[in-house]
Amino acid sequence: MKPWEFWIDVGGTFTDCIACSPEDDLVPLKVLSSAVTKGQVQQVVGTDRLVDLARTSDPADFWVGYPLRCLDRDGHPLLEATVTAFDVATGRLTIDQVLPDSIQPGTTYELVSPEEAPILAIRHVLSLQLDEPIPEVSVRLGTTRGTNALLTREGARTALVTTNGFADVPLIGNQDRPRLFDLVIRKPEPLFERVIEVNERIDADGNVLSSPQLQDVQQELQAARDDGIDSVAICLLHSFANSDHEEQIETAARAAGFTEVSRSSRLSPLIKIVSRTDTTLVDAYLNPILRQYVTRLRDSLGGSSLKIMTSAGGLVDADRFVGKDSILSGPAGGVIGFSRVAERAGFDRSIGFDMGGTSTDVSRYDGSYEREFETTKAGVRIVSPMLAIETVAAGGGSICEFDGVKLAVGPASAGADPGPACYGRGGPLTVTDLNVHLGRILPDHFPFPLDTDAVASRLEALCGRIAESPMGRRYTPTELAEGFLQIAIANMVRAIRNISVARGYDPADYVLVTFGGAGGQHACSIARELGIRDVLVHPYAGILSAYGMGLADVRRFAERSVLRPYDDQTLGNLETIFTELETGATDEVRAEGIPDERIGEPRRTLEIRYLGVEAAIPVPCPVDGDYAGRYHELHQQLYGYAHDGRPLEVTAARVEVVGTTADPPLETSTAVTRSPEPAETTTSVFDGRDRDTNVFLRDDLNPGDRFDGPAIVCESTSTVVVEPGYSAEITERDEVLIRQDAGEQAVAEVSTEADPVMLEIFNNLFASIAEQMGLTLQKTSFSTNVKERLDFSCAIFSASGDLVVNAPHIPVHLGAMSETVKRILADNPDMSPGDVFVTNDPYRGGSHLPDVTVVTPVHHVEDGRLLFFTASRAHHAEIGGIVPGSMPPFSRNLGEEGVLIRNFRLVDQGTSREDALRELLSSGDHPSRNVAENLADVSAQVAANNSGVVQLGRLVQRYSLEVVEAYMGHIQRAASEKMRLALEAIPDGNYSRTDQLDNGSVIAVAISISGDTAEVDFAGTGQVMDSNLNANRAIVTAACLYVFRCLINEDIPLNSGVLEPVTIHLPECLLNPPEQSDPSRSAAVVGGNVETSQRVVDTLLGALGVAAASQGTMNNLTFGDETFGYYETICGGAGATPDANGTDAIHTHMTNTRLTDVEVIERRYPVRVHEFSIRTGSGGEGRFRGGDGIVRRIEFLRRLSVSILSERRGPSAPFGLDGGKPGQVGHNLLRPADGSDEQDLGGKVQLDISPGDVLTILTPGGGGVGEPGDQD
């Protein structure tokens, strides 16, 4: 007879369990993950007995030996004792102590298991007392133990071993900041507390340049072990190409006494040192925690089988479960569960919708699982196979708020304590409360009494606040509840679009499988918004992740970096690689106890990309073996185009081996069609109307039952709402299948008057369109600048050219693009449907010539009226000019900086003029050196704009043109109102500051605050220069927009409304040179965009006293020759604020581009990076310190042209505030290969480099705030 099986999902609050008996009967059970069982004393008997009738459903004598504690109202212990007897018939617990008088009926008590929650569940199902051994069982388990340890930073004490010069790689990361407008930048807390740097080096091809001194390394490792370090993460540069040094150091670590050693070349043998280091650290940080957890389970389970779910959706023996694979262990069970449940119900495409108390997880399945092989969780980059799960902070406990201008749902959550308002513990208004008020959650069918009066009072109070606000809208509590619910729905719909529409899939082709405690209440609304007709609710929907554990298989992945051209030689070599990977993965599956007959054929995948492009596409092995053909098909599907003739590169080979496990039985019943009688009828609100709503008890429904909405199905763990316009039936598998009634979706009836609910929804809708434009551009572009460094921006504009919304991209682009659109509009009164324009003119709203903007007007289909614009701006790595890379340090006029594209009509009424653009880019004294890539990136920008046009069209179709146009205006007015509130918080007065560029030119600003308005005057700024540090009106406008947006300390869309209360006075000066028709007579501006813009922001923030100066430069480095060009900007220190230290090694203010990974640079270009570290001590001292800059040391391996364009090299240092000291200036140092003295190159230089020359860039620190002696 087979043993009992237990499928368990250990969540943060609850542990869900499904037990499968030897006879295949399923027994569900839910316990708290703390392994505490709560109860309430109903009666005190004698001196040592408590009675609780809730305990009469527990097994006989079960609680004997368990600790029991009684608590007062504040949760403090009144008594701690041990249960000596338990009478199940009466629910009487006898303890080993005398009960104090303070324990009376109503007192809360807890029964505390000394074992883990899964063991408590197993004992409960098997009726085993605490002192009885657990017989042999089979346990499959998913756990959030690793995720929680990562989120709370409660992992093991960890040391990182890495190549000398790269200790700070995980601290610097990709240099971008997570939130664009936060002056206090918060990086994730590091996972390591000690670094051991090893003098060793391997090059990009795996050749050994220097070997480690292992004796020295072992001594440092021994010292770490002696100091109590638990775990070691080893990640050396280029170990993906040669793992010898890592293996030697692992041996040394084990010799020093470490049992927990994570080695990057074993865990993630792929290029990119940043993500590989993070992955290795996660593994090392979590392994001891997971090992201890597994040991505690094993101690209770004896020799029973224990397998744990990995993030990839496969089971692994508990002893092989590791940290990097633990992050999605619990949610992965839900993905397996919903996909298999959908398949069993006859749906081969499904979207999982798992809504819990604090968040919602969504994922997609279409016959195979979608996986990500690099992702970011809890602020840490992880390279490991993971099921693709999108999480949004919207759950039943999400808090509903009004901030004076707009409504918001989440991301904050009420949690379990105090919980929603209806719990009666003083909690805030939440999504759960909305459903209670609208009659969709029924108090009589909830596990405990609900306080409906608390919900009503909070809604009424909010209605009053909104009526008294500038919005002036008078809601009824019911209207407001429905409005908040619409916002919550919109948040979740956006997440589902991210995993479907954004990846080229139509959600209407899928069934929505809803699960989790709150999913069933919102599934119909979600489905309606996405055009999904079918919703499936499994009988175990409340514990579907546990059910998924029982349906999961054993899976193993093996991968290897390839990085070779796609040609016959590579394909021949790949056969050997695949064979080795398959053998290893198959052996691992076999080691899990899976017999050979249940091990499937290995599944091969190649990661392929166009040569020179960053993003690769995973291509499963085609039937005909033509990977290239399949790649082109996938590229066409994902990005809308393919380049059949372009060379391909194979980046990695991967295999998956699956060992199938026994499927749980599928119980079916004969469906007999009938209309069931409701248990009762209640009144619920839908679309503003009270509706009679039938209430059904889940246990009373049988296969074949059918009923129409509105209806409510009450289950023990959740509530399912069938909305009007939907009908439900109970399937032969006992699922609830909800179907939308036939009929076209009508245009949504929304007024053109401003409504706070629709304001928030349109904010989300417009922002989502801009984000999707950005994703399209990133995917379809060719250049590293766009694909990897993310140096681009996308936005939507009104018919007058005002910025409506932008995706959170590069700040220096944002305000400037509105100027561009307005000039295109003014210069083209004959604009026609089907036109597309290209420009990079700095004197017509552009920033500098490498930033090329594509503008697409959107016209009315019928009358040709101009409606909106979409636009995208991208930094082209080459646009001509006097130096490769188009960032000349010493340009004197615009003509020397590249090709000027002034108001160029790229598409004329639908006819492409690409040949004319090619001719323009190839013309003049300094033409582009890479016209093909220019055209490819412009095409990507056109595609991005078109995606915005299509989505705006759908929006108009859904809500009407009048409503969409109205809300374009409303969200700008809302941003204006937010700005006015922020200005009112600043005391009236005049605020001024001056700063100097390195050449002595002055930037002067005076800000006058009066009530809710501001005037910004740049009078006194230096005159136009003959260097390239001149800015222009668009750049200054963008800087002002950024600064004033930073004063609004909350999430709002960035649009033209932010500057509505702000007047900018900009005389002719270095920030506003006069426009000339001849580029050779126009002032040079390439440095104004990247350098002067940073200084303008520092000066504005300093005048207002809200932040000391940040590094004040982008540290532009360009190198190349006639065959290639490379460009990067380099991070530095952020300025301190009056209440926080500045952040080290981060991009600040007007840029947020990523830095190309060191291993990628060395693989692609003839350079070797010797150091990439934080420049400790370079931030200014103060009560709050300025952030430190970085050190980037690069050796050039062949003769190249190098350009540096940087500021803050002296004499003007990044200033401090209120007695805070300035940050250190930066330096650009060259150590020639001939051994001559190192020389300081100054801030701007263009020179020819010889092989062996070493360039060191020391970036500036940020200024401090407050006297240094005043630290707390």
Q: How confident is the model at residue 815 (pLDDT cuts 50, 70, 90)?
A: low
Give the whole-angstrom CA distance, residue 324 versus residue 385: 9
pLDDT confidence bin for 789, thresholds 50/70/90 = low
Burial of residue 540 (number of CB atoms within 10 Å: 0-12, 13-18, 19+):
buried
Return the pLDDT at 1006. 98
CA distance linking residue 1027 with residue 893, whole number of Å? 8
* Chain centre distance of CA 863: 41
Name the band, by pLDDT with cuts 50, 70 and 90, for residue 748. low
Domain count, the chain: 6
The whole-number pLDDT of residue 814 equals 66
- Is the model's pLDDT at 641 over the cut of 70? no
Query: Is residue 434 in a domain?
Result: yes
Lowest-confidence region among 390-394, 502-506, 1148-1152: 502-506
The candidate with the shortest Cα–Cα distance to 928, out of 682, 1115, 1125, 732, is 1125
* Per-residue pLDDT at 613: 74
Whole-angstrom distance, CA of residue 984 vs CA of residue 640: 48
* Domain's final residue, options 935, 962, 989: 962
* Residue 516, domain member (yes or no): no
Q: Which of the listed residues 892, 927, 962 is the one where a domain comes to its end?
A: 962
Which carries the bigger pLDDT value, residue 1100 or residue 615?
A: 1100
DSSP annotation string for 528-556: HHHT--EEEE-TTGGGHHHHHHHH--EEE
Residue 745: pLDDT above 60? no
| pLDDT score of 601 more than 60 | yes
541 within domain boundaries: no
Q: Which of 458, 453, 451 shows the shortest CA–CA distance to 481?
A: 458
Quote the CA–CA distance of 1004 and 993 in Å, as a whole number. Answer: 6
Average pLDDT over residues 462-472: 87
Task: Assess whether 766 and 888 both reside in one domain.
Answer: yes
Cis amide bond preceding 647, omega within 30: no
Conformational region of residue 481, where left means phi above 0, alpha means psi within -120 to 50, and beta covers everything else? alpha
Write down the pLDDT at residue 884.
Answer: 81
Residues 1263 and 1208 in one domain: yes
Confidence of residue 763 (pLDDT cuts 50, 70, 90): confident
Burial grade of 328 (CB within 10 A; 0-12, 13-18, 19 or more): buried
Q: What is the pLDDT of residue 286?
A: 97
* Domain of residue 1118, residue span: 1108-1272
pLDDT of residue 223 exceeding 90: yes
Residue pair 355/522 in contact (Cβ under 8 Å)? The answer is yes
Does residue 914 have a pLDDT over 90?
yes
DSSP assignment of 279-317 = HHHHHHHHHHHHHHHHHHHHHHHTT-EEEEE-TTS-EEE
Bridge partners, residue 308, by sequence: 141, 316
Q: What is the pLDDT of residues 918-963, one digit of tens each?
A: 999 999 999 999 898 899 899 989 999 998 998 899 889 888 999 9
CA-nearest of 623, 625, 643 to 633 is: 643
- Mean pLDDT of the chain, nearest integer: 92
Q: From the CB of residue 663, how many other CB atoms can be counted at a distance below 10 Å?
A: 11
The H or E element spanning position 842 is none
Classify residue 1140 by its DSSP letter: B
pLDDT classification of 976: cutoffs 50, 70, 90: very high
Same domain as 560, residue 484: no
> Rounded to whole angstroms, what are the CA distances from 532 to 191, 309, 447, 485?
42, 30, 31, 19
Q: What value does the mean pLDDT take over residues 418-442? A: 91
A 10 A CB-CB count for 1099 gives 27
Tell which wins on pLDDT, 7 or 424: 7
Same domain (yes/no): 787, 935: yes
Q: Which residue has 């406008």 as its token pair?
A: 1037
- Bridging pattern class, strands 305-309 and 201-202: unpaired
Which residues have C-beta within 8 Å of that of residue 990, sequence separation ≥ 6?
Answer: 1006, 1007, 1008, 1009
Of the residues 250, 272, 307, the one at which a domain ends: 307
Which residues, at least 6 apart from 1237, have a Cβ–Cβ distance to it below 8 Å? none
**pLDDT greater than 70 at residue 821:** yes
Residue range 660-699, pLDDT digits in tens: 887 777 777 788 889 999 999 999 999 999 999 999 999 9
Q: Please give the average per-residue pLDDT across 620-632, as a whole number.
A: 92
Q: Can you list the positions of beta strands (E) in 538-645? A: 554-565, 603-610, 617-620
Q: Are 129 and 185 in the same domain? A: no
The dihedral built from the CA positions of residue 469, 471, 472 and 474, taken in this order, carries a sign that is negative
Domain membership flag for residue 392: no
Which is more confidently placed, 1097 or 971? 1097
49-51 and 92-95: which strand pairing? Answer: antiparallel
Does residue 528 fall inside a structural domain?
no
Confidence category of residue 10, pLDDT binned at 50, 70, 90: very high
d(CA 1156, CA 789): 7
User: Mean of the pLDDT values across residues 288-316?
Assistant: 94
The whole-number pLDDT of residue 579 equals: 95
Q: Quick one: 132 and 170 in the same domain?
A: no
Which residues does residue 646 pair with via DSSP β-bridges, in sequence order?
A: none
Answer positive or negative: Cα dihedral of 370, 375, 377, 382: positive
Torsion sign over Cα 783, 787, 792, 797? positive
- Write the pLDDT tens digit of every residue in 831-876: 999 999 999 999 998 888 999 999 999 998 888 899 999 999 998 9
Q: What's the CATH number where 82 sits?
A: 2.40.30
Confidence of residue 1100 (pLDDT cuts 50, 70, 90): very high
Q: What is the 3-state secondary structure (H, E, C) of 1048-1066?
A: CCCCCCCCHHHHCCEEEEC
CB atoms within 10 A of CB 821: 26
Statement: residue 291 has pLDDT above 90: yes
Tell whether 128 and 163 lie within a shared domain. no
| Any domain includes 525 | no
Asked if omega into 1053 is within 30° of 0 (cis), the reply is no
pLDDT at 656 over 90: yes
pLDDT of residue 321: 94
Residues 176 and 107 occupy one common structural domain? no
Give a yes or no: residue 288 inside a domain.
yes
Residues 626 and 604 in one domain: yes
Statement to judge: residues 143 and 165 lie in one domain? no
Residues in the chain, overall count: 1272
User: Does residue 709 belong to any structural domain of this protein?
Assistant: no
* Cα–Cα nearest to 338, from 200, 519, 495: 519
Q: What percent of the chain has pLDDT over 90?
A: 73
Say how far apart CA 201 and CA 813 lie, in whole Å. Answer: 40
Please check whether residues 479 and 595 belong to one and the same domain: no
User: In this predicted model, what pLDDT tens digit does every residue of 1200-1234 receive, in sequence order?
Assistant: 999 999 999 999 999 999 999 999 999 999 999 99
Mean pLDDT of 467-490: 90
Stated pTM of the model: 0.89
The band of 1272, judged by pLDDT with boundaries at 50, 70 and 90, is low
Q: How far apart are CA 217 and CA 245, in angstroms?
A: 11
pLDDT score, position 1055: 86
What radius of gyration, in Å, describes the C-alpha atoms of the chain? Answer: 32
* Lowest pLDDT segment from 22-26, 261-265, 752-756: 752-756
Given a contact cutoff of 8 angstroms between Cβ atoms, the answer to whether 997 and 1095 are in contact is yes
Phi, psi of 482 (to 5 degrees): -65, -40
The pLDDT of residue 767 is above 90: no
Contact between 788 and 1156 under an 8 Å Cβ cutoff? The reply is yes
Residues 1116 and 1228 in one domain: yes
Report whether pLDDT(172) > 90: yes
pLDDT at 302 over 80: yes
Q: DSSP letter string over 666-721?
A: --------B-PPPSEEEEEEETTEEEEEEEEEGGG--TTBEEESSEEEE-SS-EEE
For residues 1127 and 254, give the distance between their C-alpha atoms in angstroms, rounded to a whole number: 42
Q: Which of 774-788, 1060-1074, 1085-1099 has the lowest mean pLDDT?
A: 774-788
pLDDT of 516 above 90: no
Mean pLDDT of 65-84: 92
CB 805 within 8 A of CB 864: no
pLDDT value at residue 781: 77
On the question of pLDDT at 746 being above 70, the answer is no
In 1018-1092, beta strands by DSSP E: 1062-1065
The pLDDT value recorded for residue 782 is 72
427's enclosing H/E stretch is none
Whether 1271 has a pLDDT exceeding 70, the answer reads no
Angstrom distances, CA of residue 559 to CA of 373, 605, 618, 1124, 1235: 11, 9, 12, 31, 44
